[in-house]
Amino acid sequence: MDRAQILEAIAAGKRSWDIIVIGGGATGLGVAVDAATRGLDVLLLEQADFAKGTSSRSTKLVHGGVRYLAQGDIKLVREALRERGRLLHNAPHLAWRSGFVVPAYSWWSKYYYGIGLKLYSWLSGRWGIGRARLLSRRRVTELLPTIRTEGLKGGIQYYDGQFDDARLAVNLAQTCLENGGHVLNYCRVTALTKDTAGRVNGVQLQDLEAGASYVLQAKAVVNATGVFVDEVLSMDNPEHRKMVRPSQGVHVVVDRSFLQSDQAVMIPKTSDGRVLFIVPWQGKALIGTTDTPLDHISLEPQALEEEIAFILDTAKSYLRRPVTRRDVLSIYAGLRPLAAPQGEGSATKEISRGHKLIVNASGLVSIIGGKWTTYRQMAEDTVDKVLAVHGMPPRPCVTQDLHIHGYHTGAPDPEFLYGADGPQVKALAENGPAAWRQPLHPRLPQIGAEVIWAVREEMARTVEDVLARRTRALFTDAQAAIEAAPAVAELMAGELHRDEPWRRQQVADFRKVAEQYLPAGGGR
């Protein structure tokens, strides 16, 4: 991906597009891919890095949502299960089937959840990836050797999907480019432009790296900014009623020894009525999540002390070996852009994860709500709406079976998620300087060549881009990522032709962000 070439084309006079998409998370990238594959001239603009916010901070599950089934939202569950199947088919290098075990500590819960999960499996229809089944106490302990056995009556095993969210975002950006679209990170939309009739006809853009500003025209503008959707709506109408109710979800990452299994644990009902997962991911165990309503939004939300305590206390009730703060490798928080009217009385955990399309009188189309699993369907609905609202000729959606960049049918490697690009990354290491073959840190599996690849092929611009989203080092071992930052900055400076002050600033900026991912008390 060549960011410079796209900006050079804009500077040289390319100022008009069919669709401009604001927002480079799951939703925006999905819309850009859908539009590009329909032959539309599309430009996506992201104020930070792709998936910088919510879209890199999920529980790493591709699922229909067992909790949504319990809430009776059958339509959403069926849609999500269908889209789960499509994603596992279209990006098998990034998304894979995984077994989940629900430990039952009463006979009632074993059969109650067993019936529910059999229904969950049945609803997936032809997109099914495995049937749910009841397990004996002995079988549960075989599958989950670290589970608490006191009072254990048995359990249920079912199947769902796992994936890497930020890697999928990067591959979607590449897919968009390969189909004639354009994507730019670190380009902030500062205002919407309108014609004499008050219709939105473009945006004002600022390149945050170079400082240059441009006015771009478009037949349609899509607001796909997640928790920031109200900011863009305010650009169109300062008096608009807020459409998003943000909710924070926190995750804790610990050593894999706390799980010792390739099966995930699903705790069906915590003390606050949520579902909690303990998931094997990137050689570690990921535990989450919470659901905390927030009034303020940020690109770097911080976990609240009570959220961390809740996760650790809940895990302690199910694992033989208690997880303490000293065991935590990384803590991260993300914000869900829940589609809920202002003044909604229900708790955020009860608000549907379905999506909504809003069309303003100005023609601005906004997509709110939703979840990673259904990103493709959300994009299809959005582009259909854009074509209808703006009188563009209908064009069929083709993403149902579209292979995502990196598509590879071999078994995915959860620690090396490059798919078809893998041989090129390895060749880069073999043929480059010795530093490209060296691990970035003794506790990290990533090597120098992955930094070079991230800059050359994946539009990485900062040390954080590499350590947080091109690799997942910040999310798996925050202290190791901090210690690796100087080496990453040095490799990037060579590729981007940056000087020593840039390197020092990058290391300092990354440390400031990464320290929020450390357990209280600083490094290990």
Where residue 60 falls (left for φ over 0; alpha for ψ -120 to 50; beta otherwise) is left
Interval 8-34 mean pLDDT:
97
Residue 68 has pLDDT above 90, yes or no: no
Residue 419 has pLDDT above 70, yes or no: yes
For residues 406 and 421, the answer to whether their CB atoms sit within 8 Å is: yes
Q: What is the pTM of this model?
A: 0.96
- CB count within 10 Å of CB 458 equals 21
- Burial environment of residue 334 by CB neighbours within 10 A (0 to 12, 13 to 18, 19 or more): buried
User: Where in the chain are all domains bearing CATH 3.50.50.60?
Assistant: 3-54+167-243+349-401
Cα–Cα dist 338/340, whole Å: 6
* Confidence tier at 57 by pLDDT (50, 70, 90): very high
pLDDT at position 66: 86
| CATH fold group of domain 420-517 | Helicase, Ruva Protein; domain 3 (1.10.8)
Residue whose C-alpha is closest to residue 225's, from 243, 250, 251: 243
User: Where in the chain are all domains bearing CATH 3.30.9.10?
Assistant: 244-340
pLDDT in tens, 434-474: 999 999 999 999 999 999 999 999 999 999 999 999 999 99
**Could you please report the per-residue DSSP string of 70-85?**
HTT-HHHHHHHHHHHH
User: Where in the chain are all domains bearing CATH 1.10.8?
Assistant: 420-517
Residue whose C-alpha is closest to residue 217's, from 51, 18, 376: 18
pLDDT at position 65: 87
CATH class of 3-54+167-243+349-401: alpha beta
Mean pLDDT score of the chain: 94
Residue whose C-alpha is closest to residue 27's, from 132, 233, 187, 169: 169
**Could you please report the per-residue DSSP string of 369-411?**
E--GGGHHHHHHHHHHHHHHHTTPPP----GGGPPPTT---SP
pLDDT in tens, 357-390: 999 999 999 999 999 999 999 999 999 999 999 9
pLDDT in tens, 22-42: 999 999 999 999 999 999 999
pLDDT at position 96: 96
Q: What is the CATH number of domain 244-340?
A: 3.30.9.10
For residues 229 and 193, the answer to whether their CB atoms sit within 8 Å is: no
Residue 292 has pLDDT above 70, yes or no: yes
**Could you please report the per-residue DSSP string of 471-516?**
S-HHHH-HHHHHHHHHHHHHHHHHHHT--HHHHHHHHHHHHHHHGG
